[in-house]
Amino acid sequence: MEKDIFNTDKNKLSYGRGYVYSLQYHLVWCTKYRKKVLKNGIDTECKEMLQNLAEEYKFQILAMEVMPDHIHLLVDCKPQFYISDMIKIMKGNLARQMFLVHPELKEELWGGDLWNPSYCAITVSDRSRDQVLAYIEAPNHTGDATLPLRWLPPATLLWTCHLGTPCVASCSQPTSFIKYAIFSIGSEV
Catalytic residue flag (residue 135)? yes
Report the relative pairing of strands 120-124 and 60-66 from DSSP bridges.
unpaired
Collapse the DSSP code of 67 into the 3-class scheme (helix H, G, I; strand E, B; otherwise coil) and give the result: coil
Catalytic residue among 25, 119, 135, 180: 135
C-alpha to C-alpha distance for 160 and 156, rounded to whole angstroms: 9
First CA to last CA distance, the chain: 42
Long-range contacts at 168-174 (CB < 8 A, ≥ 24 apart): 168/143, 168/144, 169/28, 169/30, 169/67, 169/70, 169/143, 169/144, 169/145, 170/143, 170/144, 170/145, 171/145, 174/30, 174/34, 174/69, 174/116
Q: What is the DSSP string of 91-156?
A: HHHHHHHHHHH-THHHHHTTTS-SB-S--EEEEE-HHHHHHHHHHHH-TT--S-TTS-GGGS-GGG
Residues with a known catalytic role: 135
